[in-house]
Structure formats: structure tokens, C-alpha cells
Amino acid sequence: MEHAELKAAFRRALRICSRSMLMPAAGLVLFIGGVVPDVAQPAPATPAAQAPSLNVDILYLGRQYNEPPPLSLLDKIVTDEGIQGARIALQEDALTGRFVNQTYHLSEMILPLEDDFKAKARAALATHKLVIADLEKDDLLALADMPEAKNAIIFDIRTSDDSLRQEDCRANVFHFLPSRAMRTDALAQYLVWKRWTNWLLVSGKHPDDLAYAEAVKRSARKFGAKIVDERFYTYAAGSRRTDTGHQQVQQQLPLVTQNAPPYDVVFVADESEVFGEYMPYRTWDPRPVVGTAGLIAVAWHRSFEEYGGTQLQNRFEREVGRIMTERDYSAWLGIRAFGEAVLRSNMVQPAALRAYLLSDRFGVAGYKDESLNFRPWDLQLRQPVILASARDLVSVSPQEGFLNPNYLTDTLGFDKPESKCHLQ
């Protein structure tokens, strides 16, 4: 082989090694059929040489809402829901960031209800434009509408309210939990697949219960199911636990479902968690229970172990000492989405980052067998929805046979043609 040809072959080998991240070590000599010419080895790349230093400051903003204790003693009271998921994800972002000279920092602000929320939020927004919002609807809208938040990116990790994805949507608020419509559509697809298309709807009287019931009615119309009757549970116990003994529940709940037209399942709308947990095994007729109790539709569940989900479950439990809840998962996913967007775009300016988040280049891994991204018309995260009982994974929606020309996950919730969101 001629000297020029040998030199060209050696350079091609170096390029191949470089592309595959198998750079020859300093001083390594490749022998290719003759004497190798003296070609200078490139210096090992350093983080500083790869990219300029980038500081990523993320604000976790929440409030200490009065949350009712769980109905079952098996579910322990959790006071650090959400923030623990964010902390775990920040460790992952920071680990990756060290290789590309990016530094991640999480500021935690969880305000008591008596604090002046607007004043403190405005002060925080002066220095933080990337926000994880663990806020209920009214506070979330108040935050999004602040002049200081105009150029911010707010990741909503708490709400499922359909109106926040519809007429009350905001251009600076991205949503991570499945909406009510996504949850009821996920259940509806499974019920239709099972050919259980006659539903008895039992709802509480709380506004959130009624909103969930409306989502159930919409899903029935969308997928061709039938609500044979709608019933309401109105009993109010003096205490969630001590005044609702099993004898009393056993007498009351069958009467709610008595003399109903023939039905396949009871669809429970009880977001306020007053009676739904008591409904299984207490219906007048022997029927399955779905909705907010029984078979539920969630973003994450303690029983989920597919697609590497066990790794996340175990890591969280090892670090925190408890199971990962749905809000922990959405907070974890929010921090990971920020990290993924900054890592891939190498930008931290909100306007540029927002454009990248809405581009077809963005995707974040969520242990659900596909890359998750956002719907540009309402900023809702596309994702498969888990269907689970108390202790077991039952299914994952979208179900087989429900099609969409773009994303199968757009069969869940509001697709673009039916959206009422007009982003400003």
C-alpha cells in the first residue's frame, strides 16, 4: 500500500473510531500492512471543550393544601408527594449534566396556605423561569397570568382538570398528568374492547366528582357506549374513617345501585374520595367497578413494572422509603423533560426552550415503551395511560384497534379537531 493510501486509511479509521466514541488511546499505533506515518493524536475531549458552561435553575413551587387522609389504613398519609420525585430526577439530570458541562439546581418553595402566594411567586419568578408547579387550578392560573410569568415555562404536575386543557389553557403551562378526558377515554377503550358497553354511572356531589362524571359521559358518546342510568351518592359521614363502619356501608351502597336497568359495570365518579373505595363488592348486582375506584386510569401505579419501570420503582423506594405516587412520577417526569430539552438543545432561554419542547425533535423517556412529547394545541403530554386495580396492572391504553393518523395516544382526551384551547 502506498504511503498516501496508508495515511488516508489511517485517517478514515480515526474518523470511524471517533464517531463510535471508540477513540484510540494516546500513543496507540495502528499497523495496516506497513509502517504507519506519524499522525498526531487529538487531545481527549473535556466537558469544557465540548460545550460552554450552562446553569439550569428550576423552581419547584407548591402550597400546603389541606388534603384528606386516605380512606384505607393500608395507604399511609404522605406529606412529601411530588417533591420527592423532583429530587430523584434532579440527581439524574445532574449526573448527565456533568458530562456536558451543565449544572442543575432545584429551588424548593412550598408555601403555607396563610402566606401571600402571589407576592412570593412574583419574587421567585424574578430569578426563575423554569417552574414545576404543584398547584391546584386557581393558584396555577394566578401564577400563569402574572406578568412575571409571561416568558416562563410552567410544568403543571398536579391537575387533571379538562378546562385547563380547553377554554382555560395558557401558552406558558404544560400539563403532565393525564386529563380527566384521557383517563375516562382510557377506561372506555378497555371496556369497549371487553364489550362491556352498558354503564351505570354513580357520582358524588362535589364539583370535581361532577366534572369527572361529565368526562365519563363524553367518553361514552365518543366510543359508542351507553350510560343506562345516573345515580348520586349523597351521604356525608362525620369522619372519613370512624363514622363509616362496614355495617353502615354495607346497608347503604347496595341501595344506590338497586333497581337499575341492566348494566355491565358501575362507573364511579368520586374524585373527592368519599365513597368510591367502598363500592366494590357492595353493588346490588354482581358487577365490576371502574372509574375513580376499582379499575382506575393513572399515569403511574405501584404495580407497574414493564419497560424497565421496576428500576424506577426500586430506585425511588430505596431513596425515599415509600412507593412512588402518581404526583411523584409527574414531578419526576417534569424535571427529566427540562433536563432532556436542555441537554439536546444546549439552550436554557425560555423562548428557545419552549420552541424545542414543541418541536418534533423533543421526546422524554417515561418507562412506557415510547418517547413522550407534547400536543402543540393544548400543551398536554402525550402518554399511554395505565389501567390498574389496587394491587395489579390490568392493561395499558390506547387499546389495540383504536387508531389515529398521527399518534395513537391522541385517541385519549381531546384531539386537535375537538380542542377549545386557543393559545395566546
What is the SS3 assignment for the chain? CCHHHHHHHHHHHHHHHHHCCCCCCCCCCCCCCCCCCCCCCCCCCCHHHHCCCEEEEEEEEEECCCCCCCCCCCCCCCCCCCHHHHHHHHHHHHHHHCCCCEEEEEEEEEECCCCCHHHHHHHHHCCCCEEEEECCHHHHHHHHCCHHHCCCEEEECCCCCHHHHCCCCCCCEEECCCCHHHHHHHHHHHHHHCCCCEEEEEECCCHHHHHHHHHHHHHHHHHCCEEEEEEECCCCCCCCCCCCCHHHHHHHHHHHCCCCCCCCEEEEECCCCCCHHHCCCCCCCCCCEEECCCEEEECCCCCCCHHHHHHHHHHHHHHHCCCCCHHHHHHHHHHHHHHHHHHHHCCCCHHHHHHHHCCCCCCEECCCCCEECECCCCCEECCCEEEECCCCEEEEECCCCCCCCCCHHHHCCCCHHHCCCCCC
Average pLDDT over residues 227-242: 76
Amino acid 68: pLDDT: 82
Q: For the whole model, what pTM was predicted?
A: 0.86
pLDDT for residue 27 is more than 90: no
Domains with residue ranges and CATH for the chain: 3-37 (no CATH), 54-178+303-383 (3.40.50.2300), 181-298 (3.40.50.2300)
Average pLDDT over residues 65-73: 82
For the chain, give the mean pLDDT.
88
Of 46-55, 81-90, 293-302, 389-398, minimum mean pLDDT range: 46-55
